[in-house]
Structure 1
Amino acid sequence: MTDINPLSYCFRDADAIFTARFRAIEEIKKDCLVGIDANVLLAPYSLSEEPLAYIAATYERLAGEGRLIIPAHAAREFAKNRNAKIGELLKTVKDQMSRQSDPMAKQYAFLKNLPDYEIAIEIAGQIQEKQRALLTALRRVADSVRSGIQQIPFGTFIVVFCLQRLLSCTSPAEKP
């Protein structure tokens, strides 16, 4: 039995590590394979809608061209860390809920005779109504997040689109 150093196996010619010359990105970008790691899969949980649509379109194009690779290890890391990202989303929603406050919690009787102060009180009442509606909506969002990622569009995109097209880098012995 021989002990083979994995690095010696992967990089048989150590000199080539420093002397290798690679083609320019412009030269290979239209036909190279694109491997996605777990951090890239998790990033959309922190992005706004615009980059999300761009990412989805890019994944669709790369998958359609047969160039999208999601290594099995990246899928496992994604699954391991997904709940933490969902927890961060839930915390953000809860923080947004906790920031809601009465815009005019304290009112001054002395100012109530001023017409503009009466207008301010009326507007504050309208704001409170909108805040109650906002809190109701945010509670539903939090409930959806708690009940499962399938309620979140990109979560569905990742689970259905990407992971179904998983191109495993595992050895045949590791496949289920």
Structure 2
Amino acid sequence: MTTRTLYLYCSAAPPVQYVAEAIGQAHARAWTVCLGLTPTAATWMRDDINSLEELTGHPVRSAYRLPGERSPWPKADVMAFAPITANSLNAWALGLTPSWVVGSLVAAIGTAVPVVAMPCVNESLAGHPQVDRSVAVLREAGVSVLYGEGGWVPNASGQGRPDAYPWGLILDEVDRVNGGGRRPRQQ
């Protein structure tokens, strides 16, 4: 049986609290999952790290490796960033590397590994013009960004339901890009 490996990266948006459910859904789709968290997300999830490592069978990562240290993860077939905050989205699109997770995704754009993302921003944050610019930059770079109709639609501040985050949408896209390879750059 062929093993498919998904690197699932999460930033500190409320749905990260339900990432174990997403991992379970990915396992049901025959994905091996390696979980990476931004530093703030790792802080939010600190009481769950051991159970998440047991669930994935791999260390949960949130920091850069030391020079010369080998990756504890198998090679990725697909990378997904969900939920992604406005902060991480904008840093990624600008090529900034404030954390290991964002740095990994900045570097991933230059590889053949397909990358998908689904923001989790409210209407207030989505109203800043940089969010739409960042989505456009990432799409132009070949990242499949599920934002707007058919993906994440921003809700009013304080009105979100983190337990209802559409993990299935991101996993459907992970399956799609794995079958079809990397999306061509849009001109």
What is the TM-score when the length of structure 1 is the normalising length? 0.31
Which is bigger in relative contact order (C-alpha 8 A, separation at least 6)? 1
Whichever structure has more strand as a proportion of its residues is 2
TM-score, length basis structure 2: 0.29
